[in-house]
Amino acid sequence: EAVRRGLPLTGPGVIFEAGCHAGDGTLSAMAALQGRPGSTVVSIEGNANWLRAASKIVGHAISGADIKHVPLAFGDKDDLDTLLDKLQDAFSIASFDAVIFDHDERQFLPHLKLLLGRGFMHIGTTVYVDNVKRKASQLRPYMDFVNERSGRGFRTEVMQVSEPYPDAVAISTYVGHRASTAPEL
């Protein structure tokens, strides 16, 4: 549902997933792209074993589908700015319709700011973050930034979930803001 919200009404979509683990979340993202030929999911992961597993599992799941999976190694010391350049140059990806943050929560806010600053988010892009309750203290700066009252152009909904364990997820939609009132990133 969260990923689907950010997709265009018709045609292909582009999803950016930071922290694909072994591909379980990637498969959910792929499900949102069914019936959208030409779609792409970019998955980054710092654990080489998990990335190999995700590549294998997702590759098998999308065999014969017109959906591209771009799995990329991305560790704690890697530079997202450089990765975005690579996505533009090698894959002609200029923006994302949906973003899934499931990597190191200390990177959520800096990565979100970079995506905004580089123009990789457009009006309607959704950002999905899980473990909002369990990691509330670590996510506070991120949640403050995407809070509608911050004036930074987001509308955020926090929803309780019970699977795979009781917690909450945040779904933020980028609604933009007027240039004359745009706050500092």
Q: Is the pLDDT of residue 106 over 90?
A: yes
Closest CA to 2 of 175, 177, 159: 159
Beta-strand (E) ranges in the chain?
A: 14-18, 39-45, 67-73, 96-101, 121-129, 154-161, 167-174
Nearest to 15 by CA among 110, 118, 127: 127
Please determine, for residue 179, whether its predicted confidence score (pLDDT) is greater than 80: no
Question: What CA–CA distances, in Å, run from 165 to 17, 18, 93, 118, 173?
Answer: 21, 21, 34, 35, 24
* 1-40: pLDDT as tens digits: 778 999 999 999 999 999 999 898 899 999 999 999 999 9
Burial of 35 (0-12, 13-18, 19+ CB in 10 A): exposed
pLDDT band at 64 (very low <50, low <70, confident <90, very high): confident
Q: What is the pLDDT of residues 142-159, one digit of tens each?
A: 999 999 999 999 999 999
Indicate whether 164 pLDDT > 80: yes
> Looking at residue 118, what is its pLDDT?
97
**Inter-residue contact 93 to 14 (CB < 8 Å):** yes
Name the pTM for this structure. 0.92
DSSP 97: E
pLDDT, averaged across the chain: 93
Judged against a pLDDT cut of 90, whether residue 172 lies above it is answered with yes
State the average pLDDT over residues 64-83.
94
Q: Which residues contact 64 (CB under 8 A, 6 or more apart)?
A: none
